[in-house]
A = this chain, B = another copy of it.
Amino acid sequence: MATNPPDTPSSPNTPVYRRLARRLQERVDTGAYPPGTRLPSEPELSAEFGVNRLTVRQAVAELERAAVVEIRRGVGTFVRPPAVRVSIAVDPRSQRFDLGSVPTALPNDESTDGEFVVAAPPVTGSAQDAEAARQLGRTPAELSRVDSVIRLGGRARAACSYWVPFGPLPAELVRPGRPGNLVPDLARAAGVELEYDWRAFGAVGADLADAELLGVPPGTALLVREGVSCTPDGAPALYVRRRIDGSSARFVLHFRDR
């Protein structure tokens, strides 16, 4: 009876809030709190477990970040039903991302759907600007940048940043609020055709700016899709970095013929 039995792989001094988080998750896992259920309120949990309300909040916050529960202010905390995520197919042979499934998979009744310019921030020496410059083989001073947001089903789903090795960009193209598809728009502005060079997938927590754009708490897991497009002769012409709400999208690659 020393350190820890196999069923609780924790150090002996696991904080109270984490033990509590585990106990609550157990209730979710075992179905004691089925999906959609409202958890007891914070004062109720506080009383039930004999801990301060702040400790309860710490536990619940972890479960929220782990997407186990959803907190609705003024209403309550609810067990999340299984996530509905948009699948975006990627055909390795055609080298194209098929977004055909997106509009049908989400309620499309909003007239606010589409991609919209957010801003055309100056290209400084920030880490992201430096990365873009590195990927395009230029210096930050040679680049222009435009940011956008993609809305689907009435919600902001993705925050996008584009860097191109020329400038300045036409004022109308980067007018905040302008609807459009930035990749073809930028290709047209540059007078070139674009094809994929590479694309990469990663994951990051939402920074403060992205969190605000996407309407999620800072730190929310975002799927990052970044990459370079080039002209047919192979000159890098665009670096793009999309941050997509992880709970609402996934990218699928099919390897077999169908």
A198 with B253: CB separation less than 8 A: yes
Is A206's CB under 8 angstroms from B252's CB? no
Known: A93-B92, A212-B9, A255-B95. A221 touches B200 (CB 8 A): no
**Residue from B62, B82, B126, B254 within 8 A of A208 (CB atoms):** B62
Size band of the interface chain A makes with B: 35 or more
Report the Cα distance A95→B253, complex, angstroms: 10
Q: Is A169 an interface residue (CB 8 A)?
A: no
Of the listed residues A211, A220, A221, the one surrounded by the most CB atoms of chain B closer than 10 A to its CB is: A221
Report if A85-B127 is in contact (Cβ < 8 Å); known contacts: A95-B255, A197-B254, A255-B95. no
Q: Are A251 and B200 within 8 A (Cβ)?
A: yes
Mark interface residues in A58-99 (1 if CB within 8 Å of B CB, else 0).
Answer: 000010011110000000000000100101001011010000
Q: Is residue A205 contacting chain B, with contact meaning CB distance below 8 A?
A: yes
Tell me, yes or no, whether A107 is within 8 Å of chain B by CB: no
Say how far A31's CB is from chain B's closest CB, in angstroms: 8
24 contacts between A and B (CB under 8 A): A18-B208, A25-B207, A29-B126, A62-B218, A65-B65, A65-B205, A66-B205, A66-B206, A66-B211, A66-B218, A68-B207, A82-B127, A92-B253, A93-B93, A197-B254, A197-B255, A197-B256, A199-B253, A200-B253, A203-B223, A203-B244, A205-B219, A205-B221, A230-B256
Binding site for B on A (CB under 8 A): 9-10, 18, 21-22, 25, 29, 62, 65-68, 82, 85, 87, 90, 92-93, 95, 126-127, 130-131, 195-208, 211-212, 218-224, 230, 234, 244, 246-247, 249-256
In addition to A201-B201, A253-B253, 12 A-B residue pairs with Cβ atoms within 8 Å of each other are A65-B219, A66-B211, A67-B205, A68-B207, A198-B252, A199-B253, A200-B253, A201-B251, A203-B223, A205-B221, A221-B221, A234-B256
